Amino acid sequence: MTFPFPRAVAVTLAAFAFSLSGAAAQSFNDRQKDEIRALIRDYMLSNPEIIQEAMNELERKQADAEKTARAKALDELAGALADSPRAIVVGNPAGDVTLVEFFDYNCGYCKKAMSDLEALMKSDPKLKVVLRDFPVLGPDSIEASLAAVAAKKQISGDRYWEFHRKLIESRGRIGKERVFAVAREMGADPAKLQKDMESPDVRGTIEETMRFADALRLQGTPAFVVGKEVIFGAVGNEPLKTAIASVRKCGKAVC
């Protein structure tokens, strides 16, 4: 049997259900409590769509809360994301717009996004790109990021971009061994690389990225920050290009 109650009644009934275990339950005897529980159960079973509506509303509220928290974090971190002394910068260091990529060397979508990033830098000489190692895909990823950040002490400028590209385009799992192999190809000293990899400075760089990612509510890679907007996933060249153009036009990723 379907109860002809409006949805407001369902909400009220749900509130009663919660109250039965609290102080308000003192005004009901055991028989009344059982009747209320049965009424709520029958109504929910007859109108199961209410449960989905409640879940949808919860998800909407959570998404709104995340959006608000992310916007606040972007305001607070704007300078650090672009200009932190720990940042690995490729493209034009003096560029008028900054694109920050959070990536993992073992992320398939990051590999896919590599060609988009390269095309953007070739077509836009005024673009500053900041690479943020965000190793979320296991121990191999963590070791790869530590080694790659350490390699920056020996491989700099355009050569670092080449080093980064070779790593991203590598087949199979990327860990410390693969990073060391590519670094050696580019003239890095493995002994120094190992020492730098274990330094507080290198570990501090990864920890800083983790703090930024946590503040921005990032849960995967790749994720791009343009202006005060986070763009999730390997979205392709055009959405990133459009966001960069919008920042130049009005200071926001979406004008």
Domain membership of residue 59 (yes or no) is no
Same domain, 181 and 91: yes
Asked, as a colleague might, if the bond just before 139 is cis with ω within 30 of 0, I would say no
Give the chain's radius of gyration (CA, Å): 26
Neighbours of 219 (CB within 10 A): 11
**Residue-number span of the structural domain to which 40 is assigned:** 7-47
- Residue 166 within a domain: yes
Assess if residue 183 is contained within a domain.
Answer: yes
pLDDT digits (tens, 9 = 90+) for 94-121: 999 999 999 999 999 999 999 999 999 9
85 shares a domain with 34? no
Task: Tell me, yes or no, whether 11 and 95 share the same domain.
Answer: no
Q: Is residue 152 part of a domain?
A: yes
Residue in 43, 35, 36, 45 with CA at minimum distance from that of residue 8: 43
Residue 228: which of 199, 251, 208, 205 has the closest Cα? 251
Distance CA(52)–CA(50), nearest Å, equals: 5
Alpha helices by DSSP H, the chain: 7-19, 30-46, 49-83, 108-123, 139-151, 158-168, 176-185, 190-197, 200-215, 237-250
Q: Model confidence over 123-163: pLDDT tens digits?
A: 999 999 999 999 999 999 999 999 999 999 999 888 999 99
As beta bridge partners, residue 225 has: 100, 230
Q: Are residues 139 and 18 in the same domain?
A: no
191 falls within a domain: yes
Residues 22, 104 within the same domain = no
Does 81 share its domain with 16? no
CATH number at residue 194: 3.40.30.10
Q: How confident is the model at residue 16 (pLDDT cuts 50, 70, 90)?
A: very low
**Residue 57 falls within a domain, yes or no?**
no
Average confidence (pLDDT) over 41-55 = 81
Answer yes or no: do 33 and 131 share one domain.
Answer: no
Domain count for the chain: 2
**Across 60-75, average pLDDT:** 81
Same domain, 135 and 214: yes
- The three-state secondary structure class of 178 is helix
Residues 27 and 132 in one domain: no
Tell me whether residue 176 is in a domain: yes
Of the spans 22-26, 43-47, 60-64, 223-227, which averages the highest pLDDT?
A: 223-227
101 and 192: one domain?
Answer: yes
220 near 102, Cβ under 8 Å? no
For residue 119, being part of any structural domain is answered with yes
87 and 189 part of one domain: yes
What is the per-residue pLDDT for 23?
Answer: 47
**pTM of the predicted protein model:** 0.75
From the CB of residue 122, how many other CB atoms can be counted at a distance below 10 Å? 10
**Same domain, yes or no, for 13 and 91?**
no
pLDDT at site 135: 96
